[in-house]
Chains A and B, each alone.
Chain A
Amino acid sequence: MPQFDWDKSIEDLCSSEKEAQELQEIASLLCGMPKAQSSPLFRDNLKERLMEKIRDEENADGNTKLVDFKALLSRKHSLRRPAFSAAAAVLLIVAVTFLYNQGMFINKSEIANPTDQPPSKTYVSFNEWPSGEEQLPEDGKTDIPLVDRENNDYAPKGEPDGEIQESNEGISIPGGLAPETETSETLQGPEATDPAEPLQEGEDPLKEEPEFEAWENEKVLALGGKVKPESVYYNVRKEDNPEQVENTRCFWNPRKFVSAAESSEGAMGSKAWAEEILLNEGFMVKEGDYLEIVQQETQKGAYAEIIYKKQKGGKQNPALILHCGEKEGIISYYYEEQGGYAQPGFYRLLSPAQAFERVKELRWHTPQQRASFSFQEVSLTYHEFEVEANGRQKTVTLPAYCYLGMDTLSNGDSFQVYVPAL
């Protein structure tokens, strides 16, 4: 029966204890009734439709702003007369054409050589065409000068629709300098483009930040209760009801990677590099384990996703996913749930060092008056934990870190403890 939280205050309204008990039974019955579930197909389709709507709106947003901006232009400069609106639009086109004919547009090659440029010039480059029907210029990219933002004759000051907006690709200008094509434009000053490596035609610009699937589709596991710390029996039998030892010390000392001279190991994205990262966190990559590295380059540097799954262990282990940056090191920990114990997806994990704090909360039972344990290895697995909610206990299978340790005071055997990894 699922967790049932009876409201004691309702009993005050009951005329008798018997009535209170019966109402509680009905509430419990209702609570225990199975939940209605939709078809996964509908759930996924709706999600896809919602995401599509977001994308459509993002695309439409730029166009809407463009239209609004043109409307604003008309209002500001036409003295509220349609004839002036049309004249203003014609003048705008003529002005742009005139500037173009005067050779005031700079070729892309000039962007790549900023020394030839006046330092204050800024450029607009078309690199997004939201509608598939609209045709790109032949070279796929056109550069035209942008009016001075300080003395902008085109963009009305103080109007939100005329504001320059930050976007992933740079600063986008919601407004039209090319009114015949409603496109979103990206401002790329000389500082926004690496002069040494100009973008080639057809080449996608580097993403500003890393994008990982786990970040985009992170799921959250709600336990609805508190995980009860497990009892650990070391050199004693549970049946003997040994007393709990308070004076226990536990240390997390993962076997750090020791670089052997100037070995070539550790090049980012290599298997050796990933194994080193994992080893420093306490994960021992062994023969037969699954290890995958997916790299991506961004404007902030190189990033990589390490997917590691221990094959041995007698049961299906979850896949550990680490996100690393060349500058930041490990950024985040996730695991991928296949659906056996929770909804399929990516769930954020604690690092082994963070989760180890819970090892100290375990209830230790040893024949020794004091004990000291050192843990060197960890693996990600599933483990059953007791969860306490509203005075009741239930057993829940959770992703867990299994720490392998040993008694440092009496040369004891190695043994394992489990704590939730979430």
Chain B
Amino acid sequence: MLIEKKEQEIVSRAQDNPVSFAPLYDYYFPKIYNYIYNKVNNSQLAEDLVSETFYKALANIKKFQWQDRSFACWLYTIARNQVIDQFRKRDPILFDNNNTALTAQTEKGPEEKVIRDVTREELFKAIRTLSPDQQDALLLRYQEDLKIKEIAVILGKNEGAVKALLFRGLRSLRKKLKGGDFNAAI
């Protein structure tokens, strides 16, 4: 996250003059794209939803108030609602077969000793079998690096509930990944 005070200044500037929205866009664009892409797993759809998210954020930035939530929470909430609306519309989501959207490589580390040879596609495929709230909790915590408190604000739950979501989500993932039979699990 941006340093809160600095972020407040930038948001305040953007509220006064929307042209100053650019630094917020630059900073949050990759994060919002990653979050939405992980939810929908389709680059075309992700681009549409990211566009909608930023259009809405820009249109409503004057209404945003620093109270009990940060700008990041507010923005992720918009993004999450876009995804929810998309699923509500029941539009068929076409999943990308080739992960051309991925450019970085996973580093090998000791963490992979229990769950070996899990590709990104397999991991996120498994995540998408979890409940929507578990998905959001896991993605926001471990991909977007948000704090539990922030996730609680975005999901509209208390911190204890978010911890429970994380715990149950991780346990479900372990079960699916440890079995190694992802397709059967999905």
Residues of A near any B CB (own CB < 8 A): 1, 3-5, 7, 9-10, 13-14, 19, 22-23, 25-38, 42-43, 46-47, 49-51, 53-54, 57-58, 216-220, 222, 224, 343, 345
Least Cβ–Cβ distance between A406 and chain B, in angstroms = 35
Q: Tell me the dominant secondary structure on chain A's binding face.
A: helix
A222 to B118, CA, bound (A): 30
Q: Tell me the dominant secondary structure on chain B's binding face.
A: helix
Which one of A27, A34, A51, A222 contacts B170 once the chains associate, using CB atoms below 8 Å? A27
User: Which B residues, 98 to 142, have Cβ-Cβ distances below 8 Å to chain A?
Assistant: 99, 101-107, 109, 111-115, 118, 120, 123-124, 127, 138, 141-142
Beyond A216-B22, A220-B23, list 19 extra A-B contacts (CB 8 Å): A10-B163, A25-B112, A26-B170, A26-B173, A28-B109, A28-B111, A30-B123, A35-B34, A35-B102, A35-B143, A36-B38, A36-B43, A36-B101, A38-B37, A38-B46, A46-B54, A47-B29, A54-B58, A219-B26
Give the residue name and chain of the B residue nearest to A343 (CB). B26
- Do A222 and B2 have beta carbons less than 8 Å apart? yes
Least Cβ–Cβ distance between B162 and chain A, in angstroms = 10
Give the residue name and chain of the B residue nearest to A55 (CB). B19
The 10 closest A-B pairs by CB, nearest first: A34-B104, A36-B37, A28-B111, A30-B142, A23-B170, A13-B167, A1-B109, A54-B18, A35-B34, A31-B142
User: Does B181 touch A at the CB level, under 8 Å?
Assistant: no
User: How many A-B residue contacts, CB cutoff 8 Å?
Assistant: 155
Residues of A within 8 A of B51 (CB): 46, 49
Residues of B within 8 A of A49 (CB): 51
Residues of B within 8 A of A5 (CB): 145
A216 to B25, CA, bound (A): 12
- Do B47 and A38 have beta carbons less than 8 Å apart? yes
Residues of A within 8 A of B118 (CB): 29
User: Does B154 touch A at the CB level, under 8 Å?
Assistant: no
Give the residue name and chain of the B residue nearest to A1 (CB). B109
- Do A23 and B25 have beta carbons less than 8 Å apart? no
Residues of B within 8 A of A27 (CB): 141-142, 166, 170
Known contacts A50-B54, A345-B26; A37/B114 CB under 8 A: no
Least Cβ–Cβ distance between A21 and chain B, in angstroms = 8
Known contacts A37-B102, A53-B58; A32/B25 CB under 8 A: no
- Do B106 and A23 have beta carbons less than 8 Å apart? no
User: Does B3 touch A at the CB level, under 8 Å?
Assistant: yes
Residues of B within 8 A of A29 (CB): 111-112, 115, 118, 123
- Do A54 and B1 have beta carbons less than 8 Å apart? no
User: Does B10 touch A at the CB level, under 8 Å?
Assistant: yes
Most buried by A among B51, B58, B99, B111: B111
Residues of B within 8 A of A36 (CB): 33-34, 37-38, 43, 46, 99, 101-102
- Do A217 and B23 have beta carbons less than 8 Å apart? yes
A30 to B55, CA, bound (A): 29
